[in-house]
Every structure is written in C-alpha cells, then in structure tokens.
Structure 1
Amino acid sequence: MNTEQFTSDQLARKYEYDDGAVIAIDLGTTVPEPSVDVVDGTVIIVSDGEQYEFDLPVERTDAHTFIKNGVLTIELEDNA
C-alpha cells in the first residue's frame, strides 16, 4: 500500500498483527472532518474539497474505517 501520496504532511503509522493490520493517519483538526469510504479495495478520503485514494493490499481488502479526533483508523483483516 502506498499512503505517501496522501500522507506527505500527515503522520501515518501501520501496525501489523497476527490476524490483520491497523493503519492510523493523523489528518489534523484544522479542516472540517473528512469523509472516508472503502470501495472495491480502495480507500477514498474526501477532505476540504480534495479527494485522495489508495489501494489496500490484496490479502487485506476487508477494511473497517473510522475517524476520531482527526485520526483516520483503517482496520484490516486477513482474508485467509
């Protein structure tokens, strides 16, 4: 997964676990809360009129997303 395009100014971390992974991206709180959706293995983020997209790893397309206090969290489960 390449989150560098979206995260050039944001802090992003990826945590690997036995049954999946978590990606956390600090979007900040200076702009209105963005919206996020996952469509066909692609994360789509719309923030302040801009749209960003990045693909999830093929083995981890089952994703749950939420935003709290300006931090986007993407929880990925193994498809195995």
Structure 2
Amino acid sequence: METPRELRSVDRQDVLVDRIEYDDGTVIAVDFGGADEIAVDVVGDTAIVVAGDRQVEFELPAGAETVETNNGTLTISE
C-alpha cells in the first residue's frame, strides 16, 4: 500500500507521515501534531480529514481496509 500523494505533501513541520510495513500488511500513520481533534469521513474511495484548521482530501490507497483516528493520529491499515 502506497502513501497517497496528498498525504506526502503535508509531511512537513507539524505533520509527520510514516509508512510501516509488517509481515501481514502496511500501516500509514499521519500525526497531525498540535491538532486536538481530528475527524475522518470516507465517501466511496475518498477520505476527507479535518484536523484543526487543516483539511486534507485524498483517494484511499489500494488495499486500505481501515481508516481511523486516535489522539490526533490518522491510521490507514490493510
């Protein structure tokens, strides 16, 4: 599973994007730093993330099975 281009472009200063490969799949983790709350809405193959005053919209990568948030971090897992 590849990191969406739109998420790679927010990987700067207060946002950290990491792609972790495990034997049984891949996890993409996006830490929005100072954002107290983040929300994600999935419509079809598109995810819309709102973190503080920032909004990011991207196509879900092939193989994505779960998209969730926890403590200011977005995770996409296969």
Aligned to 1:18: 23
> CA–CA distance in 2 between the matches of 1:55 and 1:64?
12
Matched position secondary structure for 1:52: strand
Matched, 1:71 2:73: yes
After TM superposition, the score normalised by the length of structure 2 is 0.69
Please state how far the C-alpha of 1:55 moved relative to its aligned partner. 1.7
After TM superposition, the score normalised by the length of structure 1 is 0.67
Q: Unpaired runs of 5+ in structure 2?
A: none
Matched position secondary structure for 2:37: coil
Q: Unpaired runs of 5+ in structure 1?
A: none
Q: Which amino acid in structure 2 is aligned with residue 67 of structure 1?
A: N
Give the superposed CA RMSD: 2.0
Aligned with 1:62 (options 43, 62, 65): 65
> CA–CA distance in 2 between the matches of 1:22 and 1:74?
6
Aligned with 1:33 (options 22, 37, 51): 37
Aligned-residue identity in percent: 40
Instruction: Indicate the structure (1 or 2) with the bigger Cα radius of gyration.
Output: 1
Number of equivalences: 73
